[in-house]
Amino acid sequence: MTYFLQLVVSGIVVGSIYALSALGFVLIYKSSRVLNIAHGQIIAGGAYIVFALTVWAGVPIFLSFLASMAITFFLAMSVERIFLRRLIGEPIISVIMVTIGLMSILDGIIYLTPFGSLNFSFPEFLPPTPISLGGVSISWTQLVGVVITAILIGAFSWFFKSATLGISMRAVSDDQFASMSVGISVPRVFGLAWAMAGLSAAGAGAIIGNITGLNFETLRAFGITVFPVVILGGLDSIIGAVVAGIIMGLIQQFAAGYLDGNWGLNGTADVLPYIILLVILLFKPHGLFGTHEIERV
């Protein structure tokens, strides 16, 4: 039972970070219908910026956390400005292929830095002894990570519900022409969606980096796991991203805890999300919370 609870706790920890990373992906898809294949690389980039600021430049960690979010905010915005702005109006397939190219470019840039080949880990800045509650233990890093994730997701929900910019983003995702006619600048909203996605990605990256250490392969694998999460939750649903993130985290932890080592299986946590993804696409293609599209000619 303790083992089960322990798995549940770590599943929720991992899942909430999935939720945060999936959020950025959903933002871009919701506003511009682009599947951003390069999202994992942006997450990795955010993690590295936090590390570089904290360890190499000596900035306090919370300050560098905020600074990296600001930096990726502008980085993602300029990516949209340079590469995607001129593709507005082109078929969506070429925009998605541009993000595939971006993924490759960002990979290359990260390989150029020491982060591509070496592993780093953040210095301990929280008490190293885990909190223990009746046999179930959770480390301080994980706890703080979950709390920050919850705060960020809450802030994003508030932003979409109440802030003017958030409302205009929702309007654009609902109907581009109608929102243009009420004076919303659609390209600006696209840029903003990318910027917000970069911001949430940096947050997610920093938290993952603190929990698992900085290994490029791990971070990249984490970025690709975002796809099963968003497909499970429905590509255009923020609630879906949160719920599906936590479900996926639980599934992965249970797979690692109960399946691995039995029946000659190994590393199932890495593959199960993708199998689930294929099954969902076959039987419930719009995910748990996605909008069902009704096509009218």
Partner 1 sequence: MSANRWFATGNFYTTYRQEQRIFTTHLDRVLFGLFLFFLFVWPLFVSASNKHMLVINNILIAVVAVYGLNLVTGFAGLISIGHAAFVGIGAYTLAGTARAIGDSHVLITHAWPLMILISGFMGAAFGAFVGLPAMRLKHLYLAIATLSFQMIFSWTINFMTFFNQGQMIAVGRVFWISGQVGRNEHYLFWYYVILVTAVVCGLGVRNLLRTRYGRCLVAVRDNDRAADAMGMHPGLTKVYAFALAGFFAGIAGALHTYMFRGAGFESFTLHHSIIYLAMAIVGGLGTLPGSLFGPVAIQILELQMEHISEWAGTFLPATMNLATALRPLGFGLVIVLFLMFEPRGIANWWRICRSYFKLWPFRY
Beta bridge partners of 295: none
Choose which of 12, 13, 71, 98 interacts with partner 1 (CB under 8 A). Answer: 98
Q: How far is the CB of 217 from partner 1 (least distance, A)?
A: 12
Choose which of 112, 132, 181, 294 interacts with partner 1 (CB under 8 A). Answer: 112
Residue with tokens 């590390």: 51
Q: Please report, as residue ranges, which positions from 256 to 285 form the binding site for partner 1 (by CB under 8 A).
A: 264-267, 270-271, 273-275, 277-278, 281-282, 285
Nearer Cβ to partner 1 (12/38): 38
User: Contact between 93 and partner 1 (CB under 8 A)?
Assistant: yes
Q: Count of CB atoms within 10 A of residue 174's CB?
A: 12
**Residue 167-186 contact track with partner 1, rule CB under 8 A, x = bound:** --------------------
Choose which of 56, 117, 182, 262 interacts with partner 1 (CB under 8 A). Answer: 117
Give the orientation angle of helix 238-254 with respect to helix 216-233, to 10 degrees. 120
Beta bridge partners of 132: 137
Q: How far is the CB of 9 from partner 1 (least distance, A)?
A: 26
Nearest in space to 50 (alpha carbons), one of 29, 36, 62, 65: 65
Nearer Cβ to partner 1 (124/174): 174
Q: Count of CB atoms within 10 A of residue 83's CB?
A: 16
Q: How far is the CB of 216 from partner 1 (least distance, A)?
A: 10
User: Contact between 116 and partner 1 (CB under 8 A)?
Assistant: yes
Q: How far is the CB of 44 from partner 1 (least distance, A)?
A: 13
List Cβ neighbours of 41 (8 Å cut-off, separation of 6 or more).
102, 103, 106, 107, 110, 220, 223
User: Contact between 187 and partner 1 (CB under 8 A)?
Assistant: no
User: Contact between 232 and partner 1 (CB under 8 A)?
Assistant: no
Contact 21, 197 (CB under 8 A): no
User: Contact between 153 and partner 1 (CB under 8 A)?
Assistant: no
Nearer Cβ to partner 1 (182/282): 282
User: Contact between 88 and partner 1 (CB under 8 A)?
Assistant: no
Nearer Cβ to partner 1 (33/170): 33
User: Contact between 92 and partner 1 (CB under 8 A)?
Assistant: yes
User: Contact between 127 and partner 1 (CB under 8 A)?
Assistant: no
Using only C-alpha atoms, the chain has a radius of gyration, in whole angstroms, of: 19
Which residues would be at the binding site for partner 1 (CB under 8 A)? 33, 35, 37, 83, 86-87, 90-94, 96-98, 100-109, 111-112, 114, 116-118, 224, 227-228, 231, 235, 264-267, 270-271, 273-275, 277-278, 281-282, 285-286, 293, 295, 297
